[in-house]
């Protein structure tokens, strides 16, 4: 299992627009990815409702994880997206 711990860079956290950007990026990766709080249960990162349900605020730490082939590279790009609060995924997934 490949994991990345990352601090959320969007001031509003994973809510509304940032959550939609994140979910689109996860879906575009084509890989099964989970997201969760370090002390909580992970959820499907491609599910908007699940991501919103985490209630992640800006500055909170989250854990991205996947056991799929190619996960390391994809998680690295997703971590960059989240930590820098970008409007789109850097590079192609």
- Return the closest-CA partner of residue 30 out of 92, 86, 88: 92
Please give the positions annotated as active site: 15
- The set of residues, in sequence order, having a beta carbon less than 8 Å from that of 35 and lying 6+ positions away, is 22, 26, 42, 43, 45, 51, 54, 62, 63, 64, 65
Joined together, the tokens standing for residue 56 give: 């992640």
């Amino acid at each position: 299992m490949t994991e990345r711990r990352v601090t959320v860079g969007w001031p509003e956290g994973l809510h509304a627009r940032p959550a939609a950007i994140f979910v689109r990026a996860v879906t575009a990766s084509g890989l099964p990815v989970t997201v969760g709080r370090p002390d909580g249960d992970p959820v499907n990162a491609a599910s908007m409702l699940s991501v919103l349900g985490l209630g992640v605020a800006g500055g909170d730490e989250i854990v991205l994880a996947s056991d799929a082939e190619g996960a390391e590279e994809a998680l690295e790009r997703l971590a960059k997206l989240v930590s820098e609060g970008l409007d789109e995924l850097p590079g192609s997934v």
